[in-house]
Structure 1
Amino acid sequence: MPSELTDLHIHVGGAVAPHVLWSIAHDQGLKLPVQNYWEFKELVSARPGKVKSLDEYLAVMHQWTERIQSSPQAMERAVYEIIGKEYRSSRVDLIELRFNPMKRNEGGERDLDHIIHAALRGLDRAVLEYGVKAGLIFCLAREFEPRLNEILVEKAIRYRRRGVVGIDLAGPERHAIELGADLDLYRELFRRARAGGLKSTVHTGETARTGSEGVRAVVEALEPDRIGHGLCAAQDERVMDLLRERGVVLEICPSSNLATRAVESVEELGQVLQRFWSRGVRFTINTDGPYLLDTDMRREVALLERHLVLAHEQVEQTFRWAREAAFVD
């Protein structure tokens, strides 16, 4: 196990412990559709075998975990708890958390800046207490109107010097922006983010809906520093060459990719990663939603090594690549 672990792809919506979510829900007086804590824990789980697709996985996160986190107090506690837990459980000492502030402001009923400030307070407190390095990435939503995502980019630029390090484009891949007419609008948004000093990543190529063609379109049009998942790129040698030539790093999330059926088996995951390795495509190992998936970084590494997906030396190299690709200074 490498001594310095890095997690670059972890969603706040899937990373808060069930007992913390349970406590927050009761603090807010939120009515839950369960009778006790154990039923609640199952409600907010998307462990492998329970969900059958990316859409089902996202439904769990959006319906309950993000709703419970929708207040300044909840966001401050959520960010603080995640960073502390990742450090205590796996000694992750460099972490980048991502979330969509607009999915935490109850459709505009809560002030967006209060949500952001609260997340930054949680970040500051955890960094101070644990001595780790951390930053926030704002997720634009595929299902949002472009103007809403434009506001998120403006907010990310505004808080860049406070701990926001980048932007992401996430959400159901049935909204295949990279293959549609809105791509030019997002080209300009990502250009603006770069000009404002932000790094960028994009969820794409996780399912056949965007495929390897989606990865190619994103790299050429949006020019991201990293890509979330991007597994479908392994199907096209030209796309893998493009990733290598542009220096775009993939954020691989093993348990998540298995749970959402982005790959059908550990064996297929191994084949995909070895294709990337042999083609010179750099990639990192991440948890995505550790509590939603009942995992942590140590268990992700153990999964890869136990099933011979990657050799120990390859795992260590992925964490060196992660340090180099981090948006946090």
Structure 2
Amino acid sequence: MTDEELVDALPKHELHVHLEGSMPPETLLALRHRHGLHTLPGDLDGIRDLYEFRDFDHFIRTYLAVVQALREEEDFELLARSALGLLADQVVRYAEVTWTPVLHADRGVPVEAVFAGLEAGRLAVEAEGGPVVRWVTDLPGHLGPDAAERTLDLVLGLGGGTPPPSVVGFGLGGPEVDRAPFAAAFARARAAGLRSLPHAGEVTGPESVRAALDHLGAERLGHGIAVAQDAALMAEVAERGVVVEVCPTSNLRTRVVASYEEHPLRRMLDAGVAVTINSDDPPMFGTTLREEHLVALRHLGLGPAELLACARTAATAGSAPPAVVERTLADLDALEAVAVRR
């Protein structure tokens, strides 16, 4: 079984992907023309050039500029249908997709319209045989703790005081500021039934991971690769079973790592850390979830058995319906019987 055959047969659960960052160039171009956004490039080549990032700060600036193209309920439905449709072509059974309510509410876009569009797109993709999708809401850290409380208010308001059934997690992304000031908002989110899913240890050191664990009650860590810089912390993360959502090409494109060869995923696995493989902002980084699994095999030192183990971790670490988890695990067992003997 070749690498491509293995990856194409692999049932996948995507746990770390941003909706706004998953906007295909064609969708952004359509929104540019729909709304007359002349500050954006007027052709596909120009849009693709926009996604060529110099570093993490440049990526954040571009990300925020792209968000400005989303203005009406129909825009969000178009985004959801186009982004989630890309997952359907990669044998993705389940996805937890992060969206950022405060970025839209602060521009005057009613969060009810945003969510209605997202739900319409989600349900349409699921009805067409695409992945089961659940939402994670987050906020950019540089907006501060007050924005975290506002984000949570917006989410709870959508469900009449509780999270809507399709919203399963609460996150913290963007520039990696101190996590401790967000403790109260995350405690409130957990009390409301949302899972704690913050980014940590992406562009800063292991202290960010420690803060996410101690102050935010993190169940999973977005990116989290800085754990490899602290052997004791890495051992603790492994012992506690905290899952790390690794996004290799994202780390390369934002210059967090200089090369695939320097990526710490291999060391994390060797230390017993539970790892999943994810795509983060795939069109912006010129990748797909399929490609990330090929990267793991070809550049990060994983063998078929380890790739299948990461897929099992992803299947059990999310909030997928039990029937989806059971089907995925059964298919992974059947695939392993073939793949490990190739």
TM-score (norm 2): 0.86
Alignment counterpart, residue 34 of structure 1, candidates 38, 41, 55: 41
In the alignment, the residues of structure 2 paired with residue 22 and residue 62 of structure 1 have an alpha-carbon distance, to the nearest angstrom, of 16
Aligned length: 310
Amino acid at match of 2:99: F
Measure, in 2, the Cα distance between the counterparts of 1:163 and 1:116: 10
- Is the CA contact 1:13–1:62 (under 8 Å) kept in the aligned structure 2? no
Secondary structure of the residue that 2:57 maps to in structure 1? Answer: helix
1:181-220 paired onto structure 2 within 5 Å = 183=180, 185-207=181-203, 210-220=204-214
String of CA shifts for 1:214-251, please: whole Å, max 9, x gaps. Answer: 11121111111111111111011111122123221111
Distance 2:205 2:87 in 1: 31
Q: 2:319 aligns to what?
A: 327
Query: Are the counterparts in 1 of residues 247 and 279 from structure 2 also a CA contact under 8 Å?
Result: yes
Which deviates the most, 158-167 or 285-294? 158-167
1:37: Cα distance to partner? 2.9
SS in 2 for 1:281: coil
Q: Distance in 2 between matches of 1:56 and 1:295?
A: 18
Partner of 1:318: 310
Q: 1:198, CA displacement in angstroms?
A: 0.8
Task: Report the counterpart of residue 167 of structure 2 in structure 1.
Answer: 164
Q: CA deviation at 1:314?
A: 0.8
Give the distance between the partners of 2:248 and 2:122, measured in 1 at CA: 26
Residue 327 of structure 2: aligned partner: none
Compared with structure 1, are the counterparts of its residues 25 and 52 closer, same or farther at alpha carbon in structure 2 (3 Å cutoff)?
closer
In structure 1, the gaps of 5 or more residues are none
| Contact 2:228-2:267 within 8 A present in 1 as well | yes
Match of 2:99 in 1: 99
Residues 325 and 237 of structure 1: is their aligned pair in 2 closer, same or farther, counting only changes over 3 Å?
same
Report runs of 4+ in structure 1 exceeding 4 Å deviation.
none
Q: For residues 144-176 of structure 1, give each alpha carbon's deviation from its aligned partner in whole angstroms, at most 9, with x where no partner exists.
A: 142222121133344433411111101112xx2
Q: CA deviation at 1:8?
A: 0.8
Q: Deviations over 1:174-227 (max 9, x none)?
A: xx222xxxx2x42121111111111121111112xx311111121111111111
CA shift at 1:254, angstroms? 0.8
Conservation of the 8 A alpha-carbon contact between 1:97 and 1:137: yes
Partners of 1:131 and 1:263 in 2: CA distance: 33
Which residue of structure 2 lines up, in the alignment, with residue 20 of structure 1?
27
Structure 1 match to 2:296: 304
CA distance in 1, matches of 2:235, 2:10: 31
Q: Which one-letter code corresponds to 1:70 in the other structure? A: R
Q: CA 1:308–1:95 in 2, change beyond 3 Å: closer, same or farther?
A: same
- Equivalent in 3, 7, 10 of residue 14 of structure 2: 7
Q: In the superposition, relative to structure 1, how do residues 120 and 265 fare at CA in structure 2: closer, same or farther (>3 Å)?
A: same
Q: Does 1:136 align with 2:135?
A: yes
CA separation of 1:217/1:155 partners in 2, compared to 1, >3 Å: closer, same or farther?
same
1:9 Cα deviation (Å)?
A: 0.7
Pair 1:33–1:16, CA change in 2 (3 A): closer
Q: What do the CA deviations read for 1:252-281 (whole angstroms, capped 9, x no partner)?
A: 001101111211111111xx1222112211
* Separation in structure 2 between the aligned mates of residue 218 and residue 316 of structure 1, nearest angstrom: 28
2:64 aligns with 62
Residues 257, 300 of structure 1: CA spacing in aligned structure 2 closer, same or farther, 3 A cutoff?
same
1:156 and 1:167 in contact (8 A); partners too: no
**SS at the partner of 2:36?**
coil
Query: 1:23 Cα shift?
Result: 0.9
The percentage of aligned residue pairs carrying the same residue is 29
The whole-number CA distance in structure 1 between the counterparts of 2:243 and 2:271 is 13
**Contact kept in structure 1, 2:102 and 2:139, CA below 8 Å:** no
Q: Deviations over 1:74-126 (max 9, x none)?
A: 111111211111112x1212111112122124x34221222122212211221
Aligned partner of residue 165 in structure 1, secondary structure: strand
**TM-score scaled by length of structure 1:** 0.89
**2:77 and 2:121 in contact (8 A); partners too:** yes
CA contact (8 A) 1:165 1:328 kept: no
Q: What amino acid is aligned across from residue 136 of structure 1 in structure 2?
A: W
Give the match's secondary structure for 1:161.
coil
Name the SS of the counterpart of 1:38 in structure 2.
Answer: helix
Deviations 1:17-43 (A, max 9, x none): 111111122112222343433222322
Q: Deviations over 1:126-153 (max 9, x none)?
A: 1122242111111122111422221211
1:124 matches 2:123: yes
Whether the aligned pair in 1 keeps the contact of 2:168 and 2:194 (CA below 8 Å) is yes
